């Protein structure tokens, strides 16, 4: 049983939480402008590492708030817990964030809000 | 003289094996079973092959066997990082059925079921395929209606499926309680009589023995650590026993598919999750069908040794540790006791987990990739054992001909781009 430290409630058993899968997947802001294959990467393709994984968790049976965890998928060791909207701070967490193919994907590029142009 | 030395006909066997039969058992009993021939040889890798299959589970071994047997590709190797069948093949609860709702699923699972029906003879290895029937029960009016809609769809595909009344269920499974006033009343169910179970290890061993006899090199304790490519073409693999040149690589590594895909810079929609099972201490025979309940989310059968075999849903987070998390067995046992209160008196003997490869639409991927000569067969998730012969057969066809046949076509990786998903979440029975 994992003991997970909810940033809002403290340590609780894993059965109080649900896992939301890969973290930091940004929705393309201009989804009608990108190709099907780029959209497919956003919608379906998933990082599934044997090692450090950045994932979203929700304290479903507690405060019901979401946060991120950097966890090893072999040992299940939790390296870091950080708030939504942040990126990891530990060396392992940072490395996993940078190494993810998504950082250079078209879908992620399309998630940055386009500059408004005057008509 | 007994017929155990019988030549196995016209196929070009490179290693001559003695046939298993009732006569050979009797003959070997005479010398205390000390002189059985080795079932398959332990090969060391050569420097090049016409094709390499990665993963020595049932699907990989079946692929190698059909490649050699049907397509005459005998200069091939099967590479396994551990021992044969040590992955999900040797960890699963062995339920085999073909009562899936969508046409694409019906085609592939029924193709497999037909192969199961002749598999022991084909391989000359008793895979203990037992068509004891799989019964899915329903506990609510709504579930029952949805079930009959599904049964009609399944029957339209020519697959046997029958709705059963509570009385008919009681007749089939005398130990079941069909009183209307219990926590989960049994309102009805559906049965596939041709469905059942098989001996998981025997499936791996039978395919290994038959493939080895045809000349396939079966290499165990050898991990693939890299895929070599020349631009968009595969040219070989890197293993812990050295490099191997080959123009065709079939990856059939279940929970490790994403790890292999990473080596080739390919993206997969797969999540690796533990799936767990439990067996009880052995008891006298009480259950000779497989029972599944979608609402309670559990399934149960009795093994030939007498153990009650229980399974349920997958763990909720990604993991490559073949153990599983603790809340799951607790749920599993609670669900089983809800359905069969007498189980609370049994002690549980063993619990284990296997890493299953979950796809977003709960259907497999049998596909070419953007890299020429690189093929993937994965995504079987919680329910691929039943498909073993069919999956191997179709994958061998894809590798040999470099184009998907009509059964494989819908299972292309491209479906996640086109949107033609094959949504099998809970479409038939629980997720197995
Ligand atoms: C608890 C449990 C219960 C199940 N119950 C059922 C059921 O009742 N019915 C059903 O139909 N299905 C069931 N399944 C699913 C079924 O077991 C699988 O879908 C099926 O066995 C997959 O077979 P496979 O040959 O593809 O994979 P595996 O048997 O897992 O074989 C893959 C092999 O690849 C090897 N490998 C991985 N990486 C490498 C590498 N880098 N180099 C070399 N080799 C490598 C592994 O060691 C492994 O042996 C269950 C699974 C589990 C875990
Ligand atoms: Zn909380």
> Does the ipTM surpass 0.85?
yes
Contact B340, B230 (CB under 8 A): no
The two tokens of residue A26 are 């940004």
Query: Which residues make Cβ contacts (< 8 Å) with residue B421, sequence separation at least 6?
Result: B360, B361, B363, B415
- Does the model's pTM come out above 0.80? yes
Smallest CA–CA distance from B256 into chain A, residue: A50
Choose among B187, B129, B134, B122: nearest CA to B159: B134
Beta strand B271-280 with B290-293: parallel, antiparallel or unpaired? unpaired
Q: What is the pLDDT of residue B54?
A: 98
- Residues with CB under 6 Å of ligand 1 are B 54-60, 79-82, 86-89, 91-95, 223-224, 252-254, 256, 275-277, 311, 354, 356, 380, 382-386, 432
Mutation pick for ligand 1 pocket among B87, B299, B301, B393 (CB with most ligand atoms within 8 Å): B87
Q: Which CATH class is domain B134-195+272-358?
A: alpha beta
Q: Is residue A117 part of a domain?
A: no
Enter the tokens of residue B122: 């084909």
The protein residues having their C-beta less than 5 angstroms from ligand 2 (an ion) are A 6, 8-9, 59, 62-63
- Distance between CA atoms of B48 and B45, rounded to whole angstroms? 8
Distance A91 CA to ligand 2 centre (A): 26
Q: According to the model, what pLDDT value does residue B426 have?
A: 63
SS3 category, B137: strand
Contact residues, chain A, for B360 at CB < 8 Å: 44
> Which atom number of ligand 1 is nearest to the Cα of residue B384?
19
DSSP B101: S
**pLDDT at B236 (0 to 100):** 98
Q: Which two tokens stand for residue B143?
A: 């579930």
Q: What is the pLDDT of residue A29?
A: 86
Q: Which are the contacts of A96, defined by CB distance < 8 A and separation ≥ 6?
A: A49, A51, A52, A53, A54, A70, A88
- Mutation target for A interface from B255, B260, B317, B414: give the one with most A CBs within 10 A: B317
B432 vs B429: CA distance, rounded Å: 7
CB atoms < 10 A from the CB of B75, how many? 15
Task: Give the residue carrying structure tokens 């079930």.
Answer: B147
Chain A residues near residue B267 by CB distance under 8 angstroms: 41, 45, 101
Q: Which CATH architecture has domain B51-125+200-269+361-428?
A: 3-Layer(bba) Sandwich (3.50)
Helix B388-401, helix B103-117: angle, nearest 10? 110
- Please give the DSSP secondary-structure letter assigned to residue A15: G
Provide the domain count of chain A: 1
Residue A2 lies in a domain: no
Asked whether B51 and B67 are in contact (CB, 8 A), the reply is yes
Q: Cβ of A45 and B267 within 8 Å?
A: yes
Helix B58-69 / helix B200-213 crossing angle, nearest 10 deg: 30
With beta carbons less than 8 A apart as the criterion, state whether B268 and B365 touch: yes
How far is B31 from B92, CA to CA, in rounded Å? 35
C-alpha B36/C-alpha B427 separation (Å) is: 45
Listing DSSP states for B269-309 in one string gives --EEEEEEEEEE---S----SEEEETTTTEEEEE-TTSPEE
Of B277, B238, B239, B249, the residue nearest B356 (C-alpha) = B277
Question: pLDDT value at position A116?
Answer: 65
What CA–CA distance (Å, rounded) separates B248 from B400? 9
CA distance B383 to B432: 4
Which range of residues forms the domain containing residue A85? 12-25+44-104
Nearest to B267 among A2, A19, A41 (CB): A41
Nearest Cα neighbor of B429 from B93, B100, B91, B144 is B100
Predicted local confidence at residue B157, as pLDDT: 96
* Contact status, residue B380 vs residue B367, Cβ threshold 8 Å: no
Provide the H-helix boundaries in chain A.
36-43, 91-99, 106-109
User: Measured between alpha carbons, how far is A92 from B374 in angstroms, rounded to an integer?
Assistant: 31
Ranges of each domain in chain B: 51-125+200-269+361-428, 134-195+272-358
Residue of A42, A48, A106 to mutate, testing the B interface (most B Cβ within 10 Å of its Cβ)? A48
| Residue entry with tokens 């890798």 | B45
Position B91 scores a pLDDT of 97
Structure tokens at B229: 């490519």
User: How far apart are the CA of A12 and the centre of ligand 2, in A?
Assistant: 8
Nearest to B318 among A36, A53, A75 (CB): A53
First to last CA, chain B: 46
B208 contacts: CB under 8 Å, gap ≥ 6: B39, B40, B56, B61, B84, B218
- CA angle B355/B361/B365 to nearest 5° reads 65
Q: At what angle do helices B58-69 and B388-401 cross, to 10 degrees?
A: 50
- Residues B317 and A57: their CA atoms lie apart, in Å, by 10
> What CATH code is carried by the domain that includes residue A64?
3.30.2270.10
Residue B267, pLDDT score: 97
Report the chain B residue with the minimal C-alpha distance to residue A14.
Answer: B327
Low-confidence ranges of chain A (pLDDT < 70): 31, 113-119
DSSP label at residue B125: S
User: For each of chain B's 432 residues, which pLDDT tens digit applies?
Assistant: 333 333 333 344 456 788 999 999 999 999 999 999 999 998 999 999 999 999 999 999 999 999 999 999 999 999 999 999 999 999 999 999 999 999 999 999 999 999 999 999 999 999 999 999 999 999 999 999 999 999 999 999 999 999 999 999 999 999 898 998 888 899 999 999 999 999 999 999 999 999 999 999 999 999 999 999 999 999 999 999 999 999 999 999 999 999 999 999 999 999 999 999 999 999 999 999 999 998 888 899 999 999 999 988 899 999 999 999 989 999 889 888 888 888 999 999 999 999 999 999 999 999 999 999 999 999 999 999 999 999 999 999 999 999 999 999 999 999 999 999 999 876 544 444
Selected residues 25-64 of chain A with any CB under 8 Å from a CB in chain B: 36-37, 40-41, 43-50, 53, 55
Residue B33 backbone class (left: φ over 0; alpha: ψ -120 to 50; beta: rest) = left
**A74 interfacial to chain B (CB closer than 8 Å):** yes
Strand partners, B218: B78
A81 shares contact with chain B (CB less than 8 Å): no
Task: Tell me which chain A residues have a C-beta less than 8 angstroms from the C-beta of B418.
Answer: 36
């Amino acid at each position: 049983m994992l003991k997970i430290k909810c940033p809002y409630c403290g340590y609780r058993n894993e059965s109080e939480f649900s896992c939301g899968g890969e973290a930091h997947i940004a929705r393309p802001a201009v989804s009608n402008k990108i190709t099907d294959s780029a959209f497919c990467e956003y919608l379906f393709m998933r990082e599934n590492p044997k090692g450090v994984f950045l994932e979203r968790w929700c304290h479903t049976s507690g405060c019901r708030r979401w946060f991120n965890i950097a966890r090893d998928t072999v040992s299940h060791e939790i390296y870091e817990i950080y708030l939504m909207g942040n990126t990891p701070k530990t060396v392992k967490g940072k490395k996993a964030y940078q190494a993810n193919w998504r950082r250079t994907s078209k879908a992620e590029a399309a998630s940055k809000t386009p500059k408004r142009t005057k008509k | 003289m007994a017929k155990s030395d019988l030549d196995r006909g016209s196929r070009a066997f490179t290693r001559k094996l003695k046939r298993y039969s009732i006569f050979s058992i009797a003959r070997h009993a005479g010398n205390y079973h000390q002189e059985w021939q080795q079932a398959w040889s332990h090969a060391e890798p050569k420097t090049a092959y016409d094709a390499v299959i990665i993963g020595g589970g049932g699907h990989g071994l079946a692929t190698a066997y059909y490649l050699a047997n049907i397509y005459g590709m005998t200069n091939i190797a099967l590479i396994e990082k551990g021992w044969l069948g040590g992955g999900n093949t040797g960890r699963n609860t062995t339920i085999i059925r073909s009562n899936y709702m969508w046409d694409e699923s019906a085609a592939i699972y029924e193709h497999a079921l037909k192969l199961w029906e002749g598999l022991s003879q084909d391989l000359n290895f008793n895979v203990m395929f037992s068509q004891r029937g799989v019964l899915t029960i329903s506990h609510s009016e709504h579930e029952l209606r949805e079930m009959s809609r599904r049964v009609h769809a399944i029957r339209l595909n020519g697959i046997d499926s029958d709705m059963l009344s509570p009385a008919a269920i009681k007749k089939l499974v005398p130990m079941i309680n069909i009183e209307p006033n219990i926590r989960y009343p049994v309102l009805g169910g559906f049965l596939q009589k041709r469905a059942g179970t098989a001996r998981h290890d025997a499936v791996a061993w039978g395919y290994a023995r038959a493939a080895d006899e045809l000349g396939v090199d079966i290499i165990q304790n050898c991990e693939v650590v890299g895929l070599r490519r020349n631009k968009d073409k595969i040219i070989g693999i890197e293993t812990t026993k050295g490099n191997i040149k080959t123009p065709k690589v079939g990856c059939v590594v279940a929970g490790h598919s994403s790890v292999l895909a990473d080596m080739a810079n390919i993206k997969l929609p797969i999540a690796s999750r533990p799936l767990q099972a439990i067996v009880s201490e052995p008891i006298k025979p009480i259950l000779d069908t497989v029972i599944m309940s979608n609402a309670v989310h559990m399934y149960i059968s009795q093994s030939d040794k007498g153990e009650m075999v229980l399974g349920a849903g997958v763990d909720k987070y990604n993991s490559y540790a073949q153990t599983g998390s603790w809340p799951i067995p607790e749920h599993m046992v609670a669900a089983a006791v809800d359905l069969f209160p007498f189980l609370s008196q049994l002690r549980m003997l063993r619990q284990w987990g296997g890493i299953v490869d979950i796809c977003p639409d709960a259907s497999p991927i049998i596909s070419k990739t953007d890299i020429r000569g690189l093929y993937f067969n994965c995504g079987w998730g919680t329910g691929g054992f039943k498909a073993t012969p069919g999956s191997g057969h179709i994958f061998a066809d894809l590798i040999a001909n470099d184009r998907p046949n009509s059964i494989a076509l819908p299972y292309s990786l491209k479906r996640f781009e086109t949107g033609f998903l094959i949504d099998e979440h809970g479409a038939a029975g629980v997720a197995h």
